[in-house]
Structure 1
Amino acid sequence: MMVPTVDAAGVADDAYLLDVREPDEWAAGHPPGAHHVPMMQIPTRADEVPTDRDVVVVCRVGGRSAQVVAYLKQRGFDNVYNLDGGMFAWAAAGRPVVGEDGSAGHVI
Structure 2
Amino acid sequence: MSFAHLSPATLRQWLESDRPLTVVDIRDPLSFAGGHITHSQHLDNATVGAFIDQAPPETPVVVVCYHGHSSQQAASWLAGQGFSDVYSLDGGFEQWRHEHLDYVDTTS
Fold-level similarity (TM above 0.5): yes
For the superposition of Structure 1 and Structure 2, which TM-score range results when normalised by the shorter chain? 0.7 to 0.9
In structure 1, C-alpha distance between the alignment counterparts of 2:78 and 2:43, rounded to whole Å = 13
Q: Cα RMSD (Å) of the superposition?
A: 2.0
Q: CA deviation at 1:61?
A: 0.6
Instruction: For 2:104, give the aligned amino acid.
Output: V
Matched position secondary structure for 2:76: helix
Question: Which position in structure 2 is the counterpart of 1:41?
Answer: 46
Structure 2, unaligned runs of 5 or more: none
The whole-number CA distance in structure 2 between the counterparts of 1:44 and 1:53 is: 17
One-letter amino acid of the structure 2 residue matched with residue 41 of structure 1:
A
Identity %: 30
Q: Report if the CA contact (8 A) 2:64-2:93 is conserved.
A: yes
Query: In the alignment, which of 14, 18, 32 is matched to residue 26 of structure 1?
Result: 32
Structure 1 counterpart of 2:39, one-letter code: G
Determine if contact 1:62/1:84 at 8 Å carries over to the other structure.
Answer: yes
CA displacement at 1:42 relative to structure 2: 5.8
Aligned residues: 100
**Equivalent position amino acid for 2:49 in 1:** T
| 2:57–2:82 CA contact under 8 A, matched in 1 | no
**Counterpart-to-counterpart distance in 1, 2:2 and 2:85:** 14
Instruction: Note if contact 2:2-2:80 (Cα within 8 Å) is conserved in structure 1.
Output: no
Instruction: Select the structure that is richer in strand.
Output: 2
Partner SS, residue 41 of structure 1: coil
Question: TM-score of the superposition, structure 1-length normalised?
Answer: 0.79
Hey, which of these two has a bigger chunk of helix by percent?
2
